Structures are given as C-alpha cells and as structure tokens.
Amino acid sequence: MRRLFPVTDQTPAPPGDPADRAWSLDELAEAYAYPSLGAGEHWLRANMVSTLDGAAQHDGRSQPISGETDMRIFGTLRALADVVVVGAETVRQEGYRPARARDAFAARREAAGQGPAPAIAVVTASLDLDFSLPLFTSPLVATLVVTGAAAPADRVAEAVRAGAEVVVAGDGAGVDPARAVRELAGRGLRRQLTEGGPRLLGQFVAADALDELCLTISPMLTAGDAQRISGGPAVAVPHRLAPACVLEEAGFLFTSYRRI
C-alpha cells in the first residue's frame, strides 16, 4: 500500500520499495477517520467500487470487480460508522447480513462512544424484503427500515414483528434522502456510511446530502451496460468535491473525496 495523496514527509515509495507494504487496520482506520463533528452535525460518506470503464457491477454484483484490500477497506469503513445505509435492491442482490463486532476495532469504537457494531439501515418504499433473513432476525444491533409514511401497513407490521425498527423519512410512500440522514442522526447515528446501490447513491447526490465519496478504482475493464456508481435524476450543477486521500495497491486506487 502506498499513499499517493496527501504526501506528508516523503515522496511516495515506488513499487517494490520496503515502504510499499500492507497497511495495518489501525493505519487504515486513521486514513479513513471521520472528521470531528460538532453538536447536531452528521457526516454521510459513500463507499463504492468502479472499473476503469465506469462499471459499478459485473453480473449484477460488485464483488467480481473488488479485491482483497478493497474488502479490508470495506470492513474498516463499516467499523468506523454508526450506521450503514443501503438500498433494498442491494440487500436482495448482495445477500446482506448483519454487521459484526470486530475485536480489532473494539477499543476504537468504545473510545468514540459507539456500540460494538454499526446498525444496518435499509431504505425501501415498498418494504419488499425477506424479514426471515438474519439481517432482521439476529443482528447484533437492531436493523432499521427507513421508509415513507404511506408505506404498506402490513409490511411495516411484519418488519416490526421481525425485530426491525421502522424509521419514517418521507410524507408519502417514498423516502426523502435528506430527511433520512437527519432522522438517523437524530437517533445518535451521526457517522453514516452508504454502500449503495447506485440508485440510492444517486438520490443522496441529487439531494446534496453526500459529504464524502470513498471510491475504489478497480484496474479492470468490463464493457457491457452495467450501472454507474450513481444513477437517477441529474443535478442542475455538478457537485465539486476535493481529494482527501489516495492510496494504491496492486493496481487498485483507493480514493476519498470530500465536499468543499
């Protein structure tokens, strides 16, 4: 692993240099630490992976374009978050399971006033979910279902019976992305991480609710018609972010961009 940006005390090591080594989880946690948050503040970051030609998935899943270090960073970002926000389609396609407690991050989470693992918050208008899955029946922290006030009452009742906490973040059937962020923050879940999918990320971008994008650029080409990392309505004026960190390993670039 090499840090390409920001350069601190020396020029980045070339490939093969002794400094080009695997980073510890503590080093990754420091590189991806959330900014300090004042009273009432919250921070929403996204974690996504894309091929060189812009594909966010291959055969409908992100795993084939990922890699070992990408998964270590994926786990680190989860371990730093209060809540992981994900769309219902991604839950169905990726086979989401509850977040687990990790000994390597236990002291760091305790010092930050966090529980042993982040909650999972599933954003869904229809609640078309399998509530018999472990994500709902046996999480370490109760899973949240974020939906609108007009969501199907029978599905809401089923979610509650399964042990989920229902969060209303919209006046109709759908979810207001900015309101979802505020509702979660109001429950003390201020360090937020979204793992997509592309439609949900597009909604956060359109609502100007995203503070940071952690994007892994995979050294692969897929062609085809796979989704981009975000989709949905275009913004009137493109949002400009500033680079915060760029790491490299085995041809993968691990980038972080924050709102200006």
Q: How confident is the model at residue 96 (pLDDT cuts 50, 70, 90)?
A: confident
Q: How confident is the model at residue 179 (pLDDT cuts 50, 70, 90)?
A: very high
C-alpha to C-alpha distance for 219 and 91, rounded to whole angstroms: 26
Q: How confident is the model at residue 9 (pLDDT cuts 50, 70, 90)?
A: low
Q: pLDDT digits over 227-257, tens only?
A: 999 998 899 999 999 999 999 999 999 999 9
| CATH code assigned to 41-259 | 3.40.430.10
Q: pLDDT digits over 15-24, tens only?
A: 555 557 889 9
What's this model's pTM, rounded to 2 decimal places?
Answer: 0.92
Who contacts 190 (Cβ-Cβ below 8 Å, separation ≥6)?
A: 37, 41, 42, 43, 82
Report the pLDDT value the prediction gives residue 81, as an integer from 0 to 100: 98
Give the residue ranges of DSSP H helices in 60-210.
68-80, 88-94, 103-111, 134-137, 153-161, 177-186, 198-206
